[in-house]
Amino acid sequence: MAAAPDPRPSDASSLAALQANSGSLPERLIAHLDMDAFYASVELLRYPELKGQAVVIGGRRMHEPRTLADGTREYSRLRDYTGRGVITTSTYAARDLGVFSGMGMMKAALRAPDAILLPTDFDAYRHYSRLFKAAVAEIAPVIEDRGIDEIYIDLGEIAGIREAVGFDPLGGVRAVAREIKNSVLRATGLTCSIGITPNKLLSKIASELDKPDGISLLLAPDDLQTRIWPLGVRKINGIGPKAGAKLQALGLETVGQLAAAEPAMLIAQFGKSFGAWLHEAAHGRDNRPVVTHSEPVSISRETTFERDLHAVHDRAALGAIFTRLCEQLASDLQRKGYLGRTVGIKLRFEGFHTVTRDLTLDLPTQDAQAIRRAAGACLKRVALDKRLRLLGVRMGSLSRPGQATEMRARAKRAPASTGPAPAENLSLF
C-alpha cells in the first residue's frame, strides 16, 4: 500500500483552510442536511405504532393498511408481494436486515419476509419537503435544493456561527446546527442529519456519518485523515458502481488509498477530467458554490411494467402507455413553464439491457402531440425484438417561452424544415 499523502491540501475549500494553530474557522461553512429515512419517517407519522419496526415503502394502493372492526390496523407483509417493484426506501430497522432503497421487492422479501409493506404517497412527501425547507430558510436562507429530502446550506454569514462557546471553538457551529434541526423537528415532527465542512463534497459525506438524527462537523485539519480516508471510495458522491469496481481492481478501496495514488495513474486509467477529479475529491477539495437556483437539464416520465410486454402481442397496451407518458410529460412541461427541443426515449428490455434514442426538433415545444410524434420517430430506430420491462420519454434542451418566441422568429427567416412524419406513420405501437 502506498504511503499516506499529506493530509493538508492547500486550496481554500479544503479542511486545511482551518488554521491549526489559531483555531479559526474556514471562510466557507457549508452544511448538507439530509432527512432521515424520509419517506418511511413520514409514514411513521401516520402509523406511529410501526416505530422501531422493519417497514418498506414502495407498494401499490392494494397494500394500504386495513382498519379492522376493533380499530386496529392490519398491514401487508413483504412476503406477500408479487411483481417487479423496487423499494423506494426503508426504515433503519429494515436496513439492519439488509433491505435498502433500490432493491427489488422480491429479493428484499427473501431477507425480511415479515417486514411491513406500505404504498408510496408522494403528495405527502412533497408536503413535508416544503415544510422542512421553509423551516430551514427562516434560519439560513442561502439554500441549494437537491431534491425532496436533501439541501445544501451556506452558513458562512449566519450570526454567531464563528463564536466559541466556553472552551469549544466550534460551539457556535454546533448551536446553529441544533437550531436548524430543532426547527425542522418542530415544523414536521421529523429528524434530520447535518454535516458541516468547508465544502459540498465533504458535507455530503459528513451528513451520513452519524445518522440518524446526527450532527457531524469536519472542521479540524486532521478530520480528513481520521474520518474520511478510512471510508470506502463509494462514499464519495460521484463515484458510481463501475468506477468503484475499477478502483477496487486497482487496489484502491478506501478514500485514503485513492488519495495516495499518483494523479498520473488515475488520469491514465480514468481520463484527464475524471482522473484529476478523483485525486481532488480524495483530498477533500471542492470549490463548487451553493447554488440557490438552477434550471433543470431535462424532464422525464417513465414506468416499469408489472410483467414484460411484447411490442407485437401487447401493442395496444404499449401504445396507450406510450401516449400517456407523452401527455404526462407535456403536462409537466406546461406546469413548470418549460418548452423543449430534444425528445428522447428510454427502453429497458428483459435482461436489463437499456437503449436510448433522441431527436432534436427545429423549434421547442410543450405540445403532447408533437412530443408523441417525435418520440414515435425515435422508437422507429430501435429493434423491438425483445420483451420490454420499462418505457420512458424525456424532454431536453429546455427553454422558457420567451426564448422560444425568439427562436420561432429566427426560424421564420430560415428555410422551412419538413420535420418528422405524422405519428401514425412512425410509431410501432
Is 238 found in the same domain as 211? no
Catalytic residue selected from 150, 208, 253, 350: 150
- Say what the pLDDT of residue 217 is: 97
**Domain-embedded: residue 292:** no
Is 243 found in the same domain as 212? no
Residue 43 annotated to the active site? no
End position of a domain, from candidates 186, 208, 228: 228
Is 313 found in the same domain as 275? no
- Domain with residue 244: its CATH number is 1.10.150.20
Is 246 found in the same domain as 116? no
Is 215 found in the same domain as 195? yes
DSSP 165: B
Is 400 found in the same domain as 272? no
- Measuring CA to CA, how many Å separate 353 from each of 222, 299, 309, 350? 45, 22, 14, 7
- Range(s) of the domain holding residue 305: 298-425
- Say what the pLDDT of residue 311 is: 85
**Domain-embedded: residue 209:** yes
Count of structural domains within the chain: 3
- Say what the pLDDT of residue 320 is: 93
Is 264 found in the same domain as 221? no
- Say what the pLDDT of residue 295 is: 74
User: How many residues are there in the chain?
Assistant: 429
Backbone CA torsion sign across 250, 209, 291, 171 = negative
- Measuring CA to CA, how many Å separate 41 from each of 37, 48, 108, 185, 366? 6, 10, 19, 12, 36
In our burial notation (b when 16+ CB lie closer than 10 A, e otherwise), range 256-290 reads bbbbbbeeeebbebbeeeebebbbbbbbbbbeeeb
Is 360 found in the same domain as 245? no
Q: Among 198, 175, 282, which Cα is nearest to 18's?
A: 198
Is 38 found in the same domain as 135? yes
- Domain with residue 188: its CATH number is 3.30.70.270
One digit per residue, the tens of pLDDT, for the chain of length 429 reads 444 444 334 444 555 544 443 357 899 999 999 999 999 999 999 999 999 999 999 988 889 999 999 989 999 999 989 887 889 999 999 999 999 998 999 999 999 999 999 999 999 999 999 999 999 999 999 999 999 999 999 999 898 899 989 889 999 999 999 999 999 999 999 999 999 999 999 999 999 999 999 999 999 889 999 999 999 999 999 999 999 999 999 999 999 999 999 999 999 999 999 999 999 999 999 999 999 877 788 999 999 888 889 888 898 999 999 999 999 999 999 998 999 999 999 999 887 788 999 999 999 999 999 999 999 999 999 999 899 989 999 999 999 887 655 555 555 655 544 444 433 333 456
Is 341 found in the same domain as 261? no
- Say what the pLDDT of residue 407 is: 57
- Say what the pLDDT of residue 410 is: 59
Query: Which residues have C-beta within 8 Å of that of residue 421, sequence separation ≥ 6?
Result: 373, 377
Residues 65 and 121: their CA atoms lie apart, in Å, by: 13
pTM: 0.71
Indicate the Cα dihedral angle 319, 322, 327, 330, nearest 10°. Answer: -140
Is 106 found in the same domain as 26? yes
